[in-house]
Amino acid sequence: MPRQGRYSFPRRLIHFAALGFGAGKVPVAPGTFGTLVAVPIYLSLRETGIVAYALTVAAMFVAGVWLCDVTERDLEAHDAPSIVWDEIVGYLVTMFAAPVGWIWVVAGFALFRLFDIAKPFPIRVADRRVRGGFGVMLDDLLAGVYAWIVLNVAVVLSGSVR
């Protein structure tokens, strides 16, 4: 295991972000806690409008590739459980253009966690074969897309207004 003391302050900030501002250090279910960090981020972003939301999430994905790549190399572990920036972005993808209301926040959370944990095809393939920061981010992006599709089917079936 790498020594924590050897990193510069900027490197520690990179790790802090990649570890979901500390949520990834929770000893049990760090991915779930990382996704919880995404909820207040989503609540603040949903007020920005659809274009600003999409651009922000895209920028967070791109930044996440770099953050996760640096942190993964420093931790010497592929997609270490403590790296949860990918869960934050995956949840934000799930919630793109979701209707307002706590039922949708919770449903999106549950759906994203389901797809992130179950890793149906091709998520599991991406998780196993794509390396580096892009690989860390890709499987959660795909889980977010799957959850977004199911959430939107639920929205249509429920007759909810966006």
What is the pLDDT tens value at each position of the chain, 162 positions in all? 444 557 787 888 999 999 999 999 999 999 999 999 999 999 999 999 999 999 999 999 999 999 999 999 998 887 788 999 999 999 999 999 999 999 999 999 999 999 999 998 998 888 888 899 999 999 999 999 999 999 999 999 998 765
What tokens were used for 42? 């989503």
| Residue pointed to by tokens 């930044």 | 63
Extents of the domains making up the chain: 10-158
Within the chain, strands assigned E span none
